[in-house]
Amino acid sequence: MGAAVTLLAAGVGHALRPRTLVSALHAQRLWPARWRPAVAGATIAAEPLAGATVIVSGALGLSTVRAALVGQAALLAGLAGYQVLLRVRRPAAPCGCFGAGRPASWSGVAGTATLAAASAVAGGGTTAPHWPVAWRLLAVAAGGVLVLGVWTARLVAGPDHHHEGVRP
């Protein structure tokens, strides 16, 4: 559930500040200029949709939770791959992750890849539909606390925080 809450929070953050994401895509220069607004729109739609689908299907104990987790894993794997490409080809460009202007980092790649792997494993053999409702809600709440902790840490680090030797 932590990955789902992370995607939901990221998507909502991007939806609240879509120009920030478009600006990051312009600075990255990995997409043709005419595609960047569409890429931003797809990202803004896909992240919260994937996260919300896992949260709702998991919380309600629906059998579709497995397919939702596999879809979430695929999205996260794609985002991790994009972070690798960005880190290698444009290391100083802003990642756009959670609206931050910081460059992509290898620790960010590792975190995204870990969430993708965990989602894939959970999608392959989850027993979430059989968990009591209280446990499912606790898993959603724990994921929310995890996201808020990471978000707070990023805010406290500030915009001048350097990642892995990359300087603005």
Are 133 and 123 spatial neighbours (Cβ–Cβ below 8 Å)?
Answer: no
Which residue intervals of the chain are DSSP H helices? 2-16, 18-28, 36-59, 65-89, 106-125, 133-157
Looking at residue 129, what DSSP letter applies?
A: G
- Which pLDDT does position 25 carry in this prediction? 94
Neighbours of 30 (CB within 10 A): 15
| Sign of CA pseudo-dihedral 31, 92, 119, 155 | negative
Q: What is the pLDDT of residues 64-88, one digit of tens each?
A: 888 899 899 999 999 999 999 999 9
